[in-house]
């Protein structure tokens, strides 16, 4: 019997940096059990070039990325979502569409690396830090015994992942 593949949507306002990083990490490292997607409430129309550079340097396939609207995931032809995570504070405050299948949701806010206004080295450092934080959270999520947790326990775990900094976020 094949193991269930869970569909996970990462939301950010612009869908150019954090949500793209999250989609890539989930698919690259845990694609045997999860299918990651990303979208934005007001997509910028292009993926941030530093996000692409950082992911490429880490061996991720970036050929399929594009900045897209969350509307793509709310229609009748959208994939049934199991989880939806907001990764920026703006998106967590917006009224989201009605998701098909009533997925489990949580907020995993991470500072916006695209907002760093400094040297190229400072910008890369911000994207690398966002990658490490997101990877730590996604690794914790992927390690949860999803089939063994009741809905309340699972919701608590998902919320907990997004509300504290883990030491591994600093060391990845």
**Spatial contact of 75 and 46, defined as CB atoms under 8 Å apart:** no
pLDDT attached to residue 97: 72
| 28/89: higher pLDDT | 28
Q: Burial, 93: exposed, middle or buried (Cβ in 10 Å; 0-12, 13-18, 19+)? A: exposed
List the domain boundaries for the chain: 6-171
How far out from the chain centre does Cα 157 lie?
Answer: 16
Active site residue 71: no
> pLDDT at residue 99 above 50?
yes
CATH of 6-171, one of 3.40.50.2300, 2.60.120.10, 1.10.340.30, 3.40.50.10470: 3.40.50.2300
Active site residue 88: yes
Q: Is 114 helix (H, G, I), strand (E, B) or coil?
A: helix
| 51/75: higher pLDDT | 51
Active site residue 12: yes
Choosing from 9, 11, 12, 104, the catalytic residue is 12
pTM: 0.91
pLDDT attached to residue 169: 46
pLDDT attached to residue 92: 54
Choosing from 11, 88, 133, 136, the catalytic residue is 88
> pLDDT at residue 140 above 70?
yes
Mean per-residue pLDDT for 141-169? Answer: 86
Choosing from 96, 125, 140, 146, the catalytic residue is 96
pLDDT attached to residue 6: 96
151 HSE (CA, 13 A, CB side): 5
């Amino acid at each position: 019997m094949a193991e269930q593949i869970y569909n996970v949507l990462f939301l950010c306002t612009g869908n150019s940096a954090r949500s793209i990083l999250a989609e890539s990490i989930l698919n690259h490292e845990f694609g045997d059990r999860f299918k990651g997607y990303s979208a934005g409430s007001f997509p910028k129309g292009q993926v941030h070039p530093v996000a692409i550079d950082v992911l490429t340097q880490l061996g991720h396939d970036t050929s399929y990325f594009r900045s897209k609207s969350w509307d793509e995931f709310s229609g009748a032809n959208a994939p049934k979502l199991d989880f939806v995570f907001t990764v920026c504070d703006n998106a967590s405050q917006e009224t989201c569409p009605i998701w098909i299948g009533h997925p489990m949701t949580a907020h995993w806010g991470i500072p916006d690396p695209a907002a760093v206004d400094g040297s190229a080295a400072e910008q890369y450092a911000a994207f690398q830090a966002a990658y490490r934080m997101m990877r730590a959270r996604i690794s914790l999520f992927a390690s949860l015994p999803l089939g063994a947790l009741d809905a309340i326990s699972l919701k608590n775990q998902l919320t907990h992942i997004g509300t504290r900094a883990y030491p591994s976020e600093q060391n990845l």
